[in-house]
A and B are shown apart, each in its own frame.
Chain A
Amino acid sequence: QVQLVQSGAEMKKPGASVKVSCKPSGYTFTSYHIIWVRQAAGQGLEWMGWMSPTSGDTGYVQKFQGRVTMTSNTSISTAYMELSSLRSEDTAVYYCVRGFWLDFWGQGTLVTVSS
């Protein structure tokens, strides 16, 4: 069955960077884009961008342009989302999701930004 397993919770200071990993299984990694969505506590869902494991192409929502980098390592079938210049407002659960139609979701990674 399809699963996306993400790395564990992170605690960072303002101004630092965080890198979250996402390891899908149950399908061919290069067959689907990886989408990243975040959710602040008690809030709704927010698209961040997408990454093609095949080509390395990316598309970022303007709000995150310049601060987010989405990459992958096809040899270990793992996707990554790095967010830099962290601020308290970035405290959220970050989800990796399979494909533009969002058919399978990871378990989420809580990133806490606090001094």
Chain B
Amino acid sequence: DVVMTQSPLSLPVTLGQAASISCRSSQSLVHSDGYTDLHWVQQRPGQSPRRLVYQVSNRDSGVPDTFSGSGSGTDFTLKISRVEAEDVGVYYCMQGTHWPPTFGQGTKLEIK
């Protein structure tokens, strides 16, 4: 199975500061037809997960533009340009290029 490795696993951030989460895959996530099946999911405390970004860099409807996804091949990043209180939660990357789809371990973002 493709292993998704996130870092850091814990991310204390001051309100208004930037934050960055890295996600590395054990194999390239580029499909034979060129697209990359890498998504980011947010899980706020006590809530169901919610997708934030799909196919590396496409923000979902309603997701603030403070969130951005980037990367290629095996290295991907989720950035929050200015952290707000509502951003607290756990962030997961997920790959769907290879069967079975796999998630990273999760990165817990908290406010300092």
Contact = CB atoms under 8 A, between A and B. Distances in A.
Given A44-B106, A47-B101, 4 more contacts: A44-B105, A95-B49, A101-B54, A102-B94
Contact of A105 (B49, B102, B103, B104): B49
Classify the secondary structure of A's interface with B: loop
Given A45-B103, A59-B99, A101 B48 contact: no
A102 B100 contact: no
Contacts of B24: none
B50 A105 contact: yes
Chain B binding site: helix, strand, loop or mixed by DSSP?
loop
Contacts of A100: 37, 96, 101
Interface of B: 37, 39, 41, 43, 48-51, 54-55, 60, 92, 94, 96, 99-106
Contact of A107 (B48, B96, B104): B48
A23 to B, nearest CB: 15
Contact of A103 (B37, B60, B99, B106): B60
Contacts of B41: 45, 102
A106 interface: yes
A24 interface: no
A115 to B, nearest CB: 28
A37 B100 CA distance: 12
A100 B96 CA distance: 7
A103 B104 CA distance: 17
* Nearest 10 A/B pairs, CB to CB: A61-B100, A45-B103, A105-B48, A47-B101, A44-B106, A101-B54, A102-B51, A108-B48, A105-B49, A103-B51
Given A101-B54, A102-B39, A103-B54, A45 B49 contact: yes
Contacts of B106: 44-45
B100 A62 contact: yes
A95 B50 CA distance: 11
Contacts of B96: 100-101
Contacts of B92: 44-45
